[in-house]
Amino acid sequence: MKYLGLILDQKFKFQEHIKYTTERCAKLTHNLSRVARLTWELRYGAIATIYKGAILPLHSYGAPVWIEAMKHQHNRQKLKRVQRLFN
């Protein structure tokens, strides 16, 4: 069930929410970086600013609700994959 932008499951594990947001952020990041480098010729600093202003808020939306899910290693790895795209 999706409520206020958070995907809720019966046990409140938020695995589907984390999976959904990381996939969405990864696609957005990939498309943005590809277009920005090819057509806009943006430097890393500008892309990092876009990441901090657009992708990071999308990525961390509702974090106070689903932060307990970060106790699990597989959830942390999913979030780190998106962050590695900018390192």
Whether the predicted pLDDT of 17 surpasses 80: yes
- Interacting residues of 24 by C-beta distance below 8 A, sequence separation 6+: 58
Mean pLDDT of 33-40: 68
Beta bridge partners of 6: 3
User: How many other C-beta atoms are found inside a 10 Å radius of the C-beta of residue 71?
Assistant: 8
Q: What is the pLDDT of residues 37-83, one digit of tens each?
A: 666 666 777 777 877 888 888 888 888 888 888 888 888 888 777 77
Residues 86 and 38 sit within 8 Å (Cβ to Cβ): no
Q: How much is the pTM?
A: 0.68
